Amino acid sequence: MKRGIVEVGLGVSLAAVVVLATLKIFGLALAAGAPDLHLKGIPAPPGSPFKMLYSGYQFRNATTRAMQDDDFSNPGMLAIDPATAEWNHVEGTAGKSCASCHHDVNKTMHGVGATFPKWNARLKRPVTLEQQINICRTHYMGAKPWAFKSDNLTNMTTLIRYESRGMPVKVATDGPVTPWYNKGKKLYYTRIGQLDMSCANCHEKYYGHHMRADLLSQGQINDFPTYREKAQHLVPVEQRFIGCMKNVRARPYKPFSDEFMELELYLASRGNGLNVETPGVRN
Ligand code: HEC
Ligand code: HEC
């Protein structure tokens, strides 16, 4: 806090002091300079608020990273078999499975997960991968949509993203998606909740600093769905957004809402160039 007090003396805005005080509640350790971390990143694209992009993987400890690296110890890999069975499972009034139209998931879904959220020409709006899966279920299969956080939806999302593992995230922000991207960007920088903080207050300004026992990352989403050791299950990206919103005592947006789609679109594109890591492992 010393730094905050010194800055007041130098005439820094009250808002900045409030943020610093709030971060102190969270036990954020403010170091004077950039923390001395040995992160491996990639140069950020032009227009990025960052100089370098770092996957959240870089901020986790060696045990967590090793768990992600080894397919036999990565619990997220347990999603792949049931999702593959579901891919071939005929369901709904049209008498079809995913495979009836999309055939071999290893071939047709290669690279697809790296591009979401993306424009859906028929609906004339961008959709998240979870939304696209449910659109196919309801519109093309005549089946019920899968619920938010259900094993079926999270496993299928994991399978499709896994088909892009190691490929760079490549989310388009030009053309018709631009207005939605701009809305997502605005949401990212808007202060919310009783603690009056934006996503950027933690993930842009203080990544690399400790918050309680946790090391703050850039809040990238190239690892989602990600296995969380704390929760002991795979967590879809919107569930992580909900967790961060609750931490600043904000009321989270609704699952599958426009707000979450816009936020995901903005965040995913901020990580363009990072490799898809699904299924990631985080603490
Ligand atoms: C009757 C055919 C049909 C079935 C069955 C079907 N889909 Fe689709 N799917 C489509 C069409 C057509 C599109 C193009 C986008 C649209 O119209 O919404 C699509 C798009 C997709 C995409 C995006 C592809 C891309 O390149 O962007 C994914 C992912 C997907 N479907 C997953 C699934 C899953 C998972 C299932 C099973 C739960 C499924 N689909 C069942 C017809 C189908
Ligand atoms: C009070 C600080 C704080 C705020 C504000 C905050 N987060 Fe987080 N967030 C965390 C912490 C702590 C973690 C866990 C460590 C990490 O990966 O940064 C986390 C993790 C994440 C992750 C997971 C990263 C990964 O690699 O899996 C995402 C995504 C994320 N936050 C998004 C957001 C979004 C979107 C917002 C705004 C709605 C937000 N956060 C606001 C503290 C914050």
pLDDT (tens digit per residue) in 133-157: 999 999 999 999 999 999 999 999 9
Q: Say which ligand is closest to the CA of 140.
A: 1
* pLDDT reading at 240 higher than 80: yes
Point out the domain boundary residue: 162, 188, 213: 162
List the catalytic residues.
244
- Judgement on whether residues 155 and 244 belong to the same structural domain of the protein: no
Q: Which residues of 19-58 are buried (b: 16+ CB within 10 A; e: fewer)?
A: bbebbeebebeeeeeeeeeeeeeeebeeeeebeebbbbbb
- Judgement on whether residues 278 and 194 belong to the same structural domain of the protein: yes
Cα angle value 161/178/249 (rounded, 5°):
70
Task: For strands 118-120 and 52-53, give the pairing.
Answer: unpaired
Name which residue sits closest to atom 13 of ligand 1, judged by CA: 136
- Judgement on whether residues 62 and 97 belong to the same structural domain of the protein: no
Per the structure, the count of domains in the chain is 2
State pLDDT tens for residues 110-129: 999 999 999 999 999 999 99
Q: SS3 breakdown of the chain: % helix, strand, coil, rounded to 5?
A: 45, 10, 45
Q: Say which ligand is closest to the CA of 110.
A: 1
Instruction: Check if 161 has its Cβ closer than 6 Å to any atom of ligand 2.
Output: no
142 vs 15, which has greater pLDDT? 142
* pLDDT reading at 175 higher than 80: yes
Calpha distance 47→77 (Å, rounded): 35
Point out the domain boundary residue: 162, 194, 226: 162
- Judgement on whether residues 180 and 266 belong to the same structural domain of the protein: yes
Contact 76, 225 (CB under 8 A): yes
- Judgement on whether residues 118 and 254 belong to the same structural domain of the protein: no
Contact 123, 135 (CB under 8 A): yes
pLDDT at 3: 35
- The overall longest dimension of the chain from CA atoms, in Å, is 70
Q: What is the pTM of this model?
A: 0.93
Of 37-41, 80-84, 187-191, where does mean pLDDT reach its minimum? 37-41
Instruction: Check if 107 has its Cβ closer than 6 Å to any atom of ligand 1.
Output: no
- Judgement on whether residues 100 and 222 belong to the same structural domain of the protein: no
The secondary structure of 63-85 as a DSSP string is HHHHHHH-TTT-GGGGGHHHHHH
pLDDT at 1: 33
Question: Mean pLDDT over residues 87-113, rounded?
Answer: 98
Cis ω for the linkage preceding 279 (within 30 of 0): yes
- Judgement on whether residues 228 and 266 belong to the same structural domain of the protein: yes
- Judgement on whether residues 244 and 107 belong to the same structural domain of the protein: no
Q: Compute, in angstroms, the gap from residue 221 CA to the centroid of ligand 1.
A: 23
* pLDDT reading at 5 higher than 50: no
Q: Compute, in angstroms, the gap from residue 11 CA to the centroid of ligand 1.
A: 56
87 CB-near residues (< 8 Å, 6+ apart): 97, 98, 99, 102, 105, 156, 159
Instruction: Check if 161 has its Cβ closer than 6 Å to any atom of ligand 1.
Output: no
Q: Say which ligand is closest to the CA of 262.
A: 2
Q: Write the single-letter amino acid at 139.
A: H
- Pocket residue to mutate for ligand 1, from 91, 93, 102, 131, most atoms within 8 A of Cβ: 102
Domain span at residue 220 reads: 2-72+168-282
Instruction: Check if 17 has its Cβ closer than 6 Å to any atom of ligand 1.
Output: no
- Judgement on whether residues 38 and 85 belong to the same structural domain of the protein: no
Which three-class secondary structure state does DSSP give residue 253? coil
CATH of the domain at 67: 1.10.760.10
Point out the domain boundary residue: 108, 143, 162: 162
- Judgement on whether residues 172 and 148 belong to the same structural domain of the protein: no
- Judgement on whether residues 175 and 278 belong to the same structural domain of the protein: yes
Question: Ligand 2: which atom is nearest the Cα of residue 57?
Answer: 26
Instruction: Check if 22 has its Cβ closer than 6 Å to any atom of ligand 2.
Output: no
- Judgement on whether residues 180 and 155 belong to the same structural domain of the protein: no
Question: Among 199, 194, 233, 191, which residue's Cα sits nearest to residue 219?
Answer: 199
